[in-house]
Amino acid sequence: MLKTSFHFIGRLSTRTSQHVAGSWIMERMLTLSAASLRLPRCSGPRGELNGGRADPRNGHLYVMHLLLTHGADPNIRDGQGFNTLHLVTHSSAVMPLLYMLQQPVAVDEADSDGHTALMWAAYQGDGLSVELLLAHGASVTTRDHAGLSPLHWAVVKGSVVCIKHLLLAGADFNAREEQGKTPRDMADELKASAPLSRALQDANFNEYGQRVQASFSPRVTMGIIFAFPLVVLSISFSAFGILEWYFAWPLFLALFAAMQITTVKVLLADKPMADRVVTSPYFAAIISASLVIVAYAWLTRLVIGAPGHLVSQALFLASLLGCVFTFVKAIRTDPGYVPRVDAEEMKEQIEELTDQGRLNGTNWCIFCMVRKPLRSKHCRQCNRCVGRFDHHCPWIWNCVGFNNHRYFLLFVLTLIMGVIFFDRLAYFYIIENAPPATPGEGLTLCNISETMCRGAALDGFLLACAAWATLQLSWTFILGCSQLWQVARQMSTYEVSNLGRYGYMGGRGGTSLRDQSGAVRGSTVFVPMPDTEADFSHLPPPPGGGGHPHAHQHHRCGALGRICSALGAAITGPVFRLVGLDQFTKGRAVSGMARAGRDQNPFDLGVVKNCSDFWCGAPGVDYMHLYEVPPEGWPAYRRKLAAGGRGYVPVAREEV
């Protein structure tokens, strides 16, 4: 009866009711039979099965956990030569794979055809599983019986993400299989050159599979990046004081474009193409150069030229010093990276979450391999999990998290104040020192604004500085207002976005990170690998690929609609990302802000207390290790901490 039940549980569907019932039945049967050590085998439609391997292909994590805790052997092979690790990889379920990798299994164990788990993951286009296997030491140099490496199989699938991960892990781009074909040869034969080229570009490799080298040393590159904007802005603003505006504007745009191209194509050529600029100090260098030039204009012109406005002078100086200080602190302060743990503690945490039925992408990060605290998120640019994550800001060259959020908001607010008082002083300087406007022939600044006309005649450099500073006021004002509103609501930008996308602050739920990230699309049904000795031009489509490797999307808007959509995305997308307004437009951020006013927020303590916690700190709250909302609720928990209590201590789930 026990053998039959193992087989029955292994074939259960993924519906929740059956899963729970199956787990309960299995636990009772194992308890009654005092099962331990090795479980018996049973026959199935795919050959002999061991009790511990009836569920892996379906990704039933907690049934697997139950079987393994009662002595199931994960290394026994079935009739096709698959062990439990292979079958879990077939499921493309990353959390069961993570759990299985903590068991005594060989990560490079091959099946009867020589395929390792990494080869299967690469063939299925499962980027998360590939990255997880590589993090646990899977070899990129192993070959199957046909001489194919994991990189060959990733090329067969045409998976950009898998190819990229394997290249970065050191896969041999020139490895040849038995018939002498390299991954490039297979890509050409399968008409999959585009994914391979894209992967090479994303990984920052050239077409020959060699890593692109840096043009300068890191220190020299850093110095050039910070000096470049200062030189470009100085020359451009000086040109407005020397040349006519219709010459100065094209020069400014040309210099700025040259700086952008040189930075991306030369100075940062050794960085991966994805987020090449966002992860560099380029935007922070622009802010630094702007602060230096504005301070120079104030010292050389406004201090002497507008002496009767001491209050505005003092407020501008205070804003400037505060802006510089908080800007540097926001850059240099650890935003709140979740600390990594050693292998033993990591295994204990995984076992604990599995025992509690909570091993999923909401509670565990497979990239950092750490348990995720509440309100944290993995930052793709920093490649770290950040406590109470708000957003990644390229202007401060850092994430905005629990530790540096105050510095970031103070930087934005002091920047706004500084721009306002700088413009005020520049206005008084022009009014008190500039000659009367003398309109010329044709369209000039005098036809637009008399003050600007007089300012251009008096000091074009100062007018250009004021215009540049006012341009920054547009996005910083919106950003500052939204940040203050979120602070009053005890919410972060990330949580507001989640409200619009998923309906609640913590992001999308699910039993695996694959469900949340969408990294594996389409069907996850197991499809056998093709015969490795066959002609590769006749390979069937890999799992999840549909019937056609180059599926087309049909739009209802017609050609004109597609053109308009493409132009809109190409123009507004980079501009909004550049000035920080994308947080209000991407996804369903606007609806998230609307819902934030009426949906329940477990951390909301009222406007006064929320602001006090943000600016003065929340005593006793450690966002690096906050894993639970206490049963009594957040307000009661905070009152208990204020009274000197220990707070919430999580315990393991009780047996039922």
**Which amino acid, 59?**
G
Q: How far apart are CA 81 and CA 109, in angstroms?
A: 10
Please tell me the total count of domains within the chain: 3
For position 362, what pLDDT does the model report?
85
Same domain, 25 and 164: no
Same domain, 282 and 409: yes
Q: How far apart are CA 42 and CA 52, in angstroms?
A: 11
Query: 3: which 2 tokens?
Result: 């053998």
Residue with the bigger pLDDT between 651 and 447: it is 447
For position 596, what pLDDT does the model report?
54
Q: Considering the domain boundaries, does residue 512 fall inside one?
A: no
Q: Considering the domain boundaries, does residue 421 fall inside one?
A: yes
Say if CB 370 and CB 336 are below 8 A apart: no
Q: Considering the domain boundaries, does residue 346 fall inside one?
A: no
**Which amino acid, 331?**
I
Mean pLDDT across 571-585: 53
Q: How far apart are CA 279 and CA 383, in angstroms?
A: 10
**Which amino acid, 209?**
G
pLDDT of residue 30 exceeding 50, the answer is: no
Same domain, 71 and 35: yes
Mean pLDDT across 442-462: 69
Same domain, 280 and 410: yes
Which range in 65-69, 439-443, 502-506, 587-591 is most confidently predicted, on average pLDDT? 65-69
For position 597, what pLDDT does the model report?
53
In which band, very low, low, confident or very high, does the pLDDT at 531 lie, cut at 50, 70 and 90? Answer: very low
Q: Considering the domain boundaries, does residue 37 fall inside one?
A: yes
Tell which residue, 292, 267, 355, has the closest CA to residue 64: 355
Q: Considering the domain boundaries, does residue 605 fall inside one?
A: no
pLDDT of residue 445 exceeding 80, the answer is: no
If phi > 0 it is left, if psi is from -120 to 50 it is alpha, else beta; for residue 74 that is alpha
Say if CB 97 and CB 126 are below 8 A apart: no
Mean pLDDT across 627-649: 66
pLDDT of residue 503 exceeding 70, the answer is: no
Same domain, 324 and 470: yes
pLDDT of residue 225 exceeding 70, the answer is: yes
Task: Look up the CATH number of the domain holding residue 33.
Answer: 1.25.40
Q: Considering the domain boundaries, does residue 202 fall inside one?
A: yes
Same domain, 195 and 161: yes
With a pLDDT cut of 70, the percent of the chain lying above it is: 69
Same domain, 91 and 158: no
Name the residue with tokens 């709140």. 336
Greatest pairwise CA separation for the chain in angstroms? 102
Q: Bridge partners of 391?
A: 400
- Domain boundary (50, 70, 103) is at 103
- Domain boundary (212, 246, 272) is at 212
In which band, very low, low, confident or very high, does the pLDDT at 73 lie, cut at 50, 70 and 90? Answer: confident
Tell which residue, 97, 16, 5, has the closest CA to residue 51: 5
* Beta-sheet pairing, 398-400 with 391-393: antiparallel
Say if CB 364 and CB 374 are below 8 A apart: no
Q: Which residues are catalytic?
A: 393
Q: Considering the domain boundaries, does residue 604 fall inside one?
A: no
Predicted confidence (pLDDT) per residue in 581-595, tens digit: 555 555 555 555 555
For position 576, what pLDDT does the model report?
55
Give, rounded to a whole angstrom, the gap between the first and last alpha carbons of the chain.
24
Residue 72 neighbours by CB distance under 10 Å: 25
pLDDT of residue 422 exceeding 90, the answer is: yes
pLDDT of residue 400 exceeding 90, the answer is: yes
Q: How far apart are CA 250 and CA 245, in angstroms?
A: 9
Q: Bridge partners of 370?
A: 365
Same domain, 246 and 208: no
In which band, very low, low, confident or very high, does the pLDDT at 265 lie, cut at 50, 70 and 90? Answer: confident
For position 205, what pLDDT does the model report?
86
3-state SS assignment for residue 645: coil
> CA angle at residue 484 from 479 to 490, to 5 degrees?
120
For position 59, what pLDDT does the model report?
54
Query: 446: which 2 tokens?
Result: 């005098």
pLDDT of residue 602 exceeding 60, the answer is: yes
Q: Considering the domain boundaries, does residue 117 fall inside one?
A: yes
For residue 91, the enclosing domain spans 1-78+85-103
Same domain, 466 and 320: yes
21-25, 82-86, 296-300, 349-353: lowest mean pLDDT where? 21-25
Sign of CA pseudo-dihedral 73, 77, 79, 80: positive
319 HSE (CA, 13 A, CB side): 22
Same domain, 247 and 164: no
pLDDT of residue 40 exceeding 80, the answer is: no
Predicted confidence (pLDDT) per residue in 119-130, tens digit: 999 999 999 999
For position 216, what pLDDT does the model report?
82
In which band, very low, low, confident or very high, does the pLDDT at 325 lie, cut at 50, 70 and 90? Answer: very high
- Domain boundary (441, 472, 490) is at 490
Same domain, 307 and 415: yes
Same domain, 139 and 96: no
Mean pLDDT across 537-550: 38
Q: What are the residues whose beta carbons fall under 8 Å from the beta carbon of 160, sequence distance 6 or more?
A: 195, 198, 199, 202
Query: 388: which 2 tokens?
Result: 């109470």
Q: How far apart are CA 64 and CA 511, in angstroms?
A: 14
Q: How far apart are CA 297 and CA 461, in angstroms?
A: 8
Task: Look up the CATH number of the domain holding residue 147.
Answer: 1.25.40.20
Cα distances from 375 to residues 262, 498, 621, in angstroms, run: 38, 11, 12
In which band, very low, low, confident or very high, does the pLDDT at 421 lie, cut at 50, 70 and 90? Answer: very high
Predicted confidence (pLDDT) per residue in 168-219, tens digit: 998 998 888 888 899 999 888 888 888 888 888 888 888 888 888 877 888 8
For position 327, what pLDDT does the model report?
96
